[in-house]
């Protein structure tokens, strides 16, 4: 996940400091974990990129998904954008050291008109931006539709993050982040869920997409699974880096967070720890 | 077989083997038909593909490069030159800025893990742009145990490209004097072993799973040492001079992840021999359980530990048991003696 803003008007859409290398390292790891867990780069189409020549990755963070496509499919041109200059500098440096001439990255804000001509891409992908204010979604999905070629795909992926686990502390910390996002105007009605999942598929027909599909994925990060160590590490970083945001939103005090954090570390170490991440993808074709 | 006079002929002979043809196409990220088109002179590779081709065929690299130069001249020289100069030798300046910025802002509890993570991810991409398979691991000195001597090292944060797993943290073991890492920490300089399968080699190190060659550089500050950066490759002879230079640069950068007190006087290094990986795995299978118990007990005693502090304590217990150190006697588990054999003379 790349994260919500203190002030929706500022254009800064990160919960934690987007210029922070810790957040960047976390996002790179998370990107790999989630892509693997979901079954590849484009699992809704059995990872088949035939007929796709230009791909966009919006709010791409350090560019993991986009770079992976560029590496595996040298004939595809991949463009990524993110609001963070640091993320974009990093992604461009990665493309350079890997000799990926078919990947490029630009600083751009998903909440503003996108600087691409109409019908530019065959696949426009955005994932894990459920922190964005609810009011901004229709506008940016409309922009994605504008820049996607007729017959091309728009792909949106979201999740409830760490919601499904046997760790009470992890569940509580996750809910505190969601409550903080609610304070800022997220989709959530109650502060229990991010609220975006039921609406995800509904956004696409509104911008002229057809053949809408909803595809759910399950990533098991229970103790002993392949994903366990990565998710355990991710949780230990996420819920440390996000603490200042939760405190600022006055959803919990620092001492409450410190206790929950230590409890979460312990609970995730136990052999009977179980956890699932369940991303949902909505994909549609532009008519 | 008649010697090939062009790179296309040479490639043609290589891809006569269907398995090799598939492997090459896979590594270059192209359709196998494209390889045939190159061989038949129906099309030519882009500079990116040329570089990947050279890296995918290290045993033919020199011959291929000479013949490619004949056909493409400047393009190849430019590709090779720029790769050698900018991509192979140097860490991008953007990345130094990112690491220093992170160091300035990161919560103390995340300093080691997040900085290592950030740096290892970058090292992985730069040392293995074609993903032939490497593992990069930060190996740190165990704190001094008896007589203020450092008796072993432990693998800490690790990242890999296939065939290794992407996260190697759970594979961590202790390393001793018998290992390449141990040799590097004892000497305080980079050491490479270009062929770990060569039993007569004078270079230290032993063949781990998938590991054909390896290099390690010390992590140092003011002449003191905290451990080393260990890089393993699935290819023999992977560590050319440019890559060795890069590994040293990354080791220098990793030094920023350590606290000053974690750098030790080199005279304190007196590594012992640790049991082979299989034996260690038997001990370490209970690691998480013991870690959890240590943290719970510390909390009960009103002296809560961070996970990093608890890990250090549990590793010290394992070290004592594996090296047969005096303080281990009470808690030492029974282990059949025949299992305790060395992996390398």
> pLDDT tens digits for A165-216?
999 999 999 999 999 988 878 788 888 888 899 999 999 999 999 999 999 9
pLDDT band at B335 (very low <50, low <70, confident <90, very high): very low
Is A222 in the B-facing interface, judged by CB distances under 8 Å?
no
pLDDT in tens, A217-236: 999 999 989 899 889 999 99
Interface test with A, best of B28, B81, B95, B106 (most A CBs within 10 A): B106
According to the model, what pLDDT value does residue B142 have?
A: 96
Nearest to A89 among B83, B94, B131 (CB): B94
pLDDT band at A2 (very low <50, low <70, confident <90, very high): very low
Nearest to B167 among A100, A230, A240 (CB): A230
**Alpha carbon distance A179, A189 (integer Å):** 10
**Alpha carbon distance A206, A189 (integer Å):** 22
**Alpha carbon distance A91, A73 (integer Å):** 17
CB contact under 8 A, B46 and A271: no
Number of neighbours of residue A224 by Cβ within 10 angstroms: 12
Q: Cis bond leading into B163, ω under 30°?
A: yes
DSSP for A112-158, please give it: S--SS-TT-EEEEEEES-TTS-GGGHHHHHHHHHHHEEEEEEEEEEE
Positive or negative, the CA dihedral A93, A98, A99, A102 is: negative
pLDDT in tens, B280-312: 888 888 888 899 899 989 988 888 888 889 999
C-beta of residue B130 within 8 angstroms of C-beta of residue B50: no
**Alpha carbon distance B298, B134 (integer Å):** 38
Is B127 in the A-facing interface, judged by CB distances under 8 Å?
no
Q: pLDDT above 90 covers what percent of chain B? A: 39
When pLDDT is averaged across residues A131-146 and rounded to a whole number, the result is: 93
pLDDT band at A53 (very low <50, low <70, confident <90, very high): very high
Question: Cα dist. B233→A101, B214, B236, B276 in Å?
Answer: 25, 6, 7, 20
**Alpha carbon distance B176, B340 (integer Å):** 14
C-beta of residue B222 within 8 angstroms of C-beta of residue B205: no
ipTM: 0.82
CA Rg, chain B, in Å?
23
**Alpha carbon distance A214, A198 (integer Å):** 10
Buried-exposed string A253-272: b where 16+ CB fall within 10 A, e elsewhere: eeeebeebbbbbbbbbbeee
CB contact under 8 A, A270 and B304: no
Q: Please report where in the chains the tokens 């300035």 appear, as a residue.
A: B104
When pLDDT is averaged across residues A135-151 and rounded to a whole number, the result is: 95
**Distance between B244 CA and the closest CA of chain A, angstroms:** 16
pLDDT band at A8 (very low <50, low <70, confident <90, very high): very low
Q: Regarding predicted confidence, which is higher, A59 or B28? A: A59
C-beta of residue A87 within 8 angstroms of C-beta of residue A60: yes
According to the model, what pLDDT value does residue A96 have?
A: 86
Residue B158 CA, chain-centre distance (Å), reads: 8
**Residue B288: CB partners within 8 Å, gap ≥ 6?**
A223, A269, A271
SS (H, E, C) A92-117: HHHHHHCCCCCEEEEECCCCCCCCCC
CB contact under 8 A, B295 and A269: yes
Q: Is the pLDDT assigned to residue A5 strictly greater than 50?
A: no
**Distance between A39 CA and the closest CA of chain B, angstroms:** 15
When pLDDT is averaged across residues A76-89 and rounded to a whole number, the result is: 93
DSSP-H helix ranges across B276-326: 277-284, 287-300, 307-323
**Alpha carbon distance B306, B279 (integer Å):** 28
> Count of A–B CB contacts within 8 Å?
122
According to the model, what pLDDT value does residue B202 have?
A: 59
CB contact under 8 A, A21 and B49: no
Strand order in the sheet with A103-107: A103-107, A77-82, A54-58, A121-127, A148-158, A280-286, A209-216
According to the model, what pLDDT value does residue A66 have?
A: 97
> What does pTM read for this prediction?
0.78
**Alpha carbon distance B319, B339 (integer Å):** 17
Phi and psi, residue A218, nearest 5°: -125, 125
According to the model, what pLDDT value does residue B334 have?
A: 36
According to the model, what pLDDT value does residue A157 have?
A: 97
Q: pLDDT above 70 covers what percent of chain A? A: 94
According to the model, what pLDDT value does residue A226 have?
A: 87
Is A49 in the B-facing interface, judged by CB distances under 8 Å?
no
According to the model, what pLDDT value does residue A218 have?
A: 96
Question: Cα dist. A254→A114, A244, B102 in Å?
Answer: 38, 8, 22
Mean per-residue pLDDT of chain A: 90
CB contact under 8 A, A98 and B51: no
**Alpha carbon distance B236, B245 (integer Å):** 18
Interface test with A, best of B27, B81, B118 (most A CBs within 10 A): B118
What angle separates helix B61-72 from helix B74-82, to the nearest 10 degrees?
A: 130
Q: Regarding predicted confidence, which is higher, B342 or B181? A: B181
CB contact under 8 A, B165 and A266: no
């Amino acid at each position: 996940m790349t994260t919500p803003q203190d002030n929706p008007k500022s254009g800064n859409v990160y919960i934690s400091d987007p210029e922070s290398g810790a957040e960047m390292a976390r996002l790179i790891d998370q990107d790999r974990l989630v892509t693997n867990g979901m079954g590849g780069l484009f699992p809704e189409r059995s990872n088949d990129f035939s007929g796709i020549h230009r791909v966009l990755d919006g709010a791409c963070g350090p560019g993991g998904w986009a770079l992976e496509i560029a590496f595996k499919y040298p004939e595809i041109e991949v463009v990524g954008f993110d609001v963070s200059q640091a993320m974009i500098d990093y992604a461009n440096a990665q493309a350079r050291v890997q000799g990926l001439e078919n990947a490029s990255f630009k600083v751009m804000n998903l909440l503003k008109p996108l600087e691409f001509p109409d019908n530019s891409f065959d696949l426009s992908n955005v994932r894990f931006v459920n922190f964005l204010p609810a009011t901004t979604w229709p506008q940016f999905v409309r922009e994605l539709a504008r820049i996607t070629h007729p017959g091309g795909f728009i792909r949106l992926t979201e999740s409830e993050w760490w919601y499904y686990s046997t760790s009470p502390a992890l569940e509580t910390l996750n809910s505190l982040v969601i409550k903080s996002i609610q304070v800022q105007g997220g989709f959530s009605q109650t502060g229990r869920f991010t609220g975006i999942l039921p609406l995800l598929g509904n956004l696409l027909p509104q911008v002229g997409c057809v053949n809408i599909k909803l595809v759910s994925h399950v990533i098991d990060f229970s103790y002993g699974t392949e994903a366990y160590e990565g998710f355990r590490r991710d949780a230990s970083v996420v819920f440390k880096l996000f603490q200042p945001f939760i405190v600022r939103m006055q959803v919990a005090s620092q001492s409450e967070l410190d206790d929950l954090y230590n409890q979460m570390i312990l609970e995730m170490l136990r052999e009977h720890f179980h956890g699932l991440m369940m991303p949902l993808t909505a994909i549609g074709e532009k008519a | 077989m008649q010697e090939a006079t062009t790179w296309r002929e040479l490639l043609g002979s290589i891809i006569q083997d269907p398995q090799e043809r598939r492997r090459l196409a896979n590594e270059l990220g192209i359709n196998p038909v494209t390889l045939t088109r190159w061989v038949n002179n129906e099309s030519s590779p882009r500079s990116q593909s040329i570089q990947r081709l050279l890296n995918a065929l290290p045993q033919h690299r020199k011959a291929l490069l000479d013949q490619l130069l004949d056909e493409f001249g400047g393009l190849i020289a430019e590709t090779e030159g720029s790769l050698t100069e900018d991509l192979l030798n140097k860490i991008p300046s953007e990345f130094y800025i990112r690491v220093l910025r992170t160091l300035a802002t990161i919560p103390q509890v995340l300093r080691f893990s997040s900085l290592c993570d950030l740096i290892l991810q970058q090292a992985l991409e730069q040392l293995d742009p074609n993903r032939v398979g490497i593992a990069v691991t930060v190996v740190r000195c165990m704190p001094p145990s008896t007589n203020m001597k450092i008796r072993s090292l432990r693998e800490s944060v690790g990242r890999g490209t296939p065939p290794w797993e992407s996260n190697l943290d759970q594979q961590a073991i202790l390393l001793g004097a018998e290992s390449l890492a141990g040799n590097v920490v004892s000497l305080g300089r980079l050491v490479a072993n270009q062929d770990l399968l060569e039993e007569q080699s004078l270079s230290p190190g032993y063949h781990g799973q998938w590991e054909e060659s390896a290099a390690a550089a010390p992590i140092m500050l003011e002449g003191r040492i905290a451990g080393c950066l260990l890089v393993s490759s699935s290819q023999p002879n992977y560590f050319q001079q440019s890559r060795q230079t890069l590994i040293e640069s990354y080791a220098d950068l990793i030094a920023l992840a350590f606290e000053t007190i974690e750098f030790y006087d080199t005279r304190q290094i007196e590594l012992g021999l640790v049991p082979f990986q299989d034996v260690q795995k038997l001990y370490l299978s209970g690691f998480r359980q013991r870690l959890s118990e240590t943290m719970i007990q510390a909390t009960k005693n009103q002296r809560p530990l961070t996970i990093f502090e608890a890990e250090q304590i549990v590793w010290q217990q394992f070290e004592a048991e594996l090296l047969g150190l005096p303080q281990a006697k009470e808690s030492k588990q029974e282990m059949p003696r025949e299992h305790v054999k060395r992996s390398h003379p």
